Structure formats: structure tokens, C-alpha cells
């Protein structure tokens, strides 16, 4: 078992943790094919679009608990061992979901899926940071999200085509296959405890503490609170788009392959712009790019309410120009403001923005859908992004 202060590497000297970017891409291919079809499967099993939002919120509570307690787990077990267990479990879980006849059986298995995925995302993000020098963090994060988004181009359209030909749950089988490949790739790396690329870096002692102490210390730092809100805003958008865009398109009469195609094309702005966004933020600061990103999201969502079906398809693709300015820079911002010795005890709390967003966004979306229809969701989300954008103005100009 390796201590938390030991840095991870592979016997392949991939610069800036390139292997973890490849892992992220393969994971995204499988997971995005699953997630694109999941709302449609849930709507069928639950019998009501509104209940889908509540289902996501319930699972997000599980994810929140896992995120907040992850630092305790990472203190006890090796990240390498946990990753192997998680990948093996996920390859089985996606297949098991296809055999769940009732919503209760489906939810019971899905809780394990959410637990594993939450831990996997946290560990993979720490791996990326472990493998990069201070000067290479932005480059490593940019590459990580670039490869992730390439996966998001391939996955949804593959899942959509499989669903149209063989049924929606065929996308689940495809996800399982991707994670079988992923665990094979991970085992081939022969991970070791010391990174030869950054062995010269002075190691600082990892600070640990109780959960409540870590939470209190996190909340006392204004820039960490702002980093949490920026991350929350990004995941709020991924939650809203992941749940309600497929339902909106399906209700407009578009087929499953069109839903998958729209999701795949919506990732193209991320691929084209995210790497440049991190490079620009390194020169001009993350504050400017994050503010522009939230402005684009809010304005485009308001345009959703007035768009014809054909224009709506285009806007659902173009809106992620705004996301491209935010997504990689939220991680860069966090690692700029957190002390190196605090990374592992604070990252789980910072990452809790993900489940918090997935609790609030689907619940708010369900309430708005019931009261105002689908346009209520777009307007309500735009208002959230306007508020976060205004908060961004308080980020220190040095960032």
C-alpha cells in the first residue's frame, strides 16, 4: 500500500500524465453512451418525465456522501487498488442494469454505479495532478478534458445508434465493454509509487484531519468557496443538459439516434476551445474566461425559449462554447488557490460540488417542469448562471 505523499507514475513515461487522459477518454466513451440513454430508460420505467429529475436528485445524495467521505477512504487504501476494484465493478454493473426488471432493482444497482463513478472521478483527477509539475498543471488539465470530450463525441452517437437498432439498454452493454478495456489498460501500466518526471519536486507533508475540521477549514477560505461555486455551476449545466435535453428532444419527436448525434456534436466546441481556454487563462487569468463562459450559457438558454425545433438543435450544440471556457479552468482555479499539502483533504469537499449540483438541478428542474414546462427549466437555469457570473466578479484579479 502506498502512502498518500507518494506520487504515482507508470513505467511508460507519458508526459503530463498522458495515460490518465487516455483513460478518461475511454471511460467517457462508455459512460456517455450510457448517460445519453439513461433519462429515456428512466422515463419509461418511471412513467413520468418529472420523476426522472427526482431520481437523479436521490442518486446525487449518495454521490455527495461519497465525495465528502472520500478523503477518509483515500487515507486508508491505495488509489491504485481502489481504481482496479472500481473498474472491475463497473464492467459488471452496466450489464446488471439491463436485467433489472423493476425500478427498485434498477435503483439498487444504480446506487453502486454512482458510488463507483464518484470515487473514480475523484481518483482520476488526483492522478492527473500527481503526475504534473506546477508549471504543467494547466497543460495536463487541458489535455485531460480534451481527451474526455473526444470520448463524449464518440459515446453518445454510438449509444444512440445502438439504441435505435437494438434497444436503449444496448448502450449499457457497450459501456460495460468499454470498462473491460479500461481495466485492461490500467493493469498494463504497472503503476509504481514514484513519478520519475517530478521526483525532483520537494514533497510537502500531506495534511489530514477529521471531516468536520476539513470542511470548516475549506469554508474559511473565500477563494476555495468561489472555486466550489464555479464547479457547482458547471455541473449544474451538465445535470440540466444531461437530463432535460434528451427529454426535450424526444418530446419534440426526434429519434434516439438524433438525440445521440446532438449530444456528440455539442461536445465539438469543447474539443476545439478547451485547450485554448486553458492556455489563454494561463496568460490572462481564469477569472475572465469563467465569467465569459457563464454569460454565454445564460444568454443561449434564454434563446432556447424562443427557438424553433431546427434552431434549438443548433443552439444545443453551440451553447457549449460557454462550457468550454469554464470546464478546464475550474480545476486550474482550484489548484491555484489550494495549498499543495491540502489538495487531498480538500479535493473531496471541492468535488462535492458535483453531487450538490446533481441534487439541486434535477429537483429544481422537476419543479420548474411541473409549473412552467420545459421553458421554465431554461429560464431558471439562465438565472442561476447569471448569479454565479456575478459572483465571478469577486474572484481576485491575480487569478
**286-338 pLDDT, tens per residue?**
888 899 999 999 999 999 999 999 999 999 999 999 998 988 788 888 878 88
- Name the pLDDT band for 4 (thresholds 50, 70, 90): very low
User: What integer pLDDT is reported at residue 298 of this predicted model?
Assistant: 96
Average pLDDT, the chain: 81
- Tell me the Ramachandran region of residue 16: left when phi exceeds 0, alpha when psi lies from -120 to 50, beta otherwise: left
Helix axes 49-76, 79-97, angle to 10 degrees: 160
Q: Could you give the percent of the chain with pLDDT greater than 90?
A: 27
Whether the pLDDT of residue 251 is over 70: the answer is: yes
Q: 150 pLDDT exceeds 80?
A: yes
Task: Please tell me which residue, 213 or 204, carries the higher pLDDT value.
Answer: 213
Residues with Cβ < 8 Å from 331, sequence gap 6 or more?
125, 141
Q: Kindly indicate the confidence band of residue 164, based on its pLDDT and cuts at 50, 70 and 90.
A: confident
- Percent of the chain clearing pLDDT 70 (strictly above): 85
Task: Calculate the dihedral angle through the C-alpha atoms of 12, 16, 17, 20, rounding to the nearest 10 degrees.
Answer: -130
pLDDT score, position 9: 35
Return the pLDDT at 134. 54
Domains of the chain: 15-193+211-392 (1.20.1250.20)
If one compares 372 and 144, the residue with the highest pLDDT of the two is 372
Q: What is the pLDDT of residue 139?
A: 65
- The confidence score (pLDDT) of residue 341 equals 73
Q: What is the pTM assigned to this prediction?
A: 0.73
Among 335, 324, 237, 347, CA closest to 277: 324
Q: At what angle do helices 343-351 and 49-76 cross, to 10 degrees?
A: 170
Rounded to whole angstroms, the Cα distance separating 141 from 128 reads 7
Task: Give the model's confidence band at 273: pLDDT under 50 very low, under 70 low, under 90 confident, else very high.
Answer: confident
- What span, in angstroms and rounded, lies between the C-alpha atoms of 6 and 98? 40
Q: What is the mean pLDDT of residues 35-50?
A: 87
Give the pLDDT mean for 381-386: 96
Amino acid at each position: 500500500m502506498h502512502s498518500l505523499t507518494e506520487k504515482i507514475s507508470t513505467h511508460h513515461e507519458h508526459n503530463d500524465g498522458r495515460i490518465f487522459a487516455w483513460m478518461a477518454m475511454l471511460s467517457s466513451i462508455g459512460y456517455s453512451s450510457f448517460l445519453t440513454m439513461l433519462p429515456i430508460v428512466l422515463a419509461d420505467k418511471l412513467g413520468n418525465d418529472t420523476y426522472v429529475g427526482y431520481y437523479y436528485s436521490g442518486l446525487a445524495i449518495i454521490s455527495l456522501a461519497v465525495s465528502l467521505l472520500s478523503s477518509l477512504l483515500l487515507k486508508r487504501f491505495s488509489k491504485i487498488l481502489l481504481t482496479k476494484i472500481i473498474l472491475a465493478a463497473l464492467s459488471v454493473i452496466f450489464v446488471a442494469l439491463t436485467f433489472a426488471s423493476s425500478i427498485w432493482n434498477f435503483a439498487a444497482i444504480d446506487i453502486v454505479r454512482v458510488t463507483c463513478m464518484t470515487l473514480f472521478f475523484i481518483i482520476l483527477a488526483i492522478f492527473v495532478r500527481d503526475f504534473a509539475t506546477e508549471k504543467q498543471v494547466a497543460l495536463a488539465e487541458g489535455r485531460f478534458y480534451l481527451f474526455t470530450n473526444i470520448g463524449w463525441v464518440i459515446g453518445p452517437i454510438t449509444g444512440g445508434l445502438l439504441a435505435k437498432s437494438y434497444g436503449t439498454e444496448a448502450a449499457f452493454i457497450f459501456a460495460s465493454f468499454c470498462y473491460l478495456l479500461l481495466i485492461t489498460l490500467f493493469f498494463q501500466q504497472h503503476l509504481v509509487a514514484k513519478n520519475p518526471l517530478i521526483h525532483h519536486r520537494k514533497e510537502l507533508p500531506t495534511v489530514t484531519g477529521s471531516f468536520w475540521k476539513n470542511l470548516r477549514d475549506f469554508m474559511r477560505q473565500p477563494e476555495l468557496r468561489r472555486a466550489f461555486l464555479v464547479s457547482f455551476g458547471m455541473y449544474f449545466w451538465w445535470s440540466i443538459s444531461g437530463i432535460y435535453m434528451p427529454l426535450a428532444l424526444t418530446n419534440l419527436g426526434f429519434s434516439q439516434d438524433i438525440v445521440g448525434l446532438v449530444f456528440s456534436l455539442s461536445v465539438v466546441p469543447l474539443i476545439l476551445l478547451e485547450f485554448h481556454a486553458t492556455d489563454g487563462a494561463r496568460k490572462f487569468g481564469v477569472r475572465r474566461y469563467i465569467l465569459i463562459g457563464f454569460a454565454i450559457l445564460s444568454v443561449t438558454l434564454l434563446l432556447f425559449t424562443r427557438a424553433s425545433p431546427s434552431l434549438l438543435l443548433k443552439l444545443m450544440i453551440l451553447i457549449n462554447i460557454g462550457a468550454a471556457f469554464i470546464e478546464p479552468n475550474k480545476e486550474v482555479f482550484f489548484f491555484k488557490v489550494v495549498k499543495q499539502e491540502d489538495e487531498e483533504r480538500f479535493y473531496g469537499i471541492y468535488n462535492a460540488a458535483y453531487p450538490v449540483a446533481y441534487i439541486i438541478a434535477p429537483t429544481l428542474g422537476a419543479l420548474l417542469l411541473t409549473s412552467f414546462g420545459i421553458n421554465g427549466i431554461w429560464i431558471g437555469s439562465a438565472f442561476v448562471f447569471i448569479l454565479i457570473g456575478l459572483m465571478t466578479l469577486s474572484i481576485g484579479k491575480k487569478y
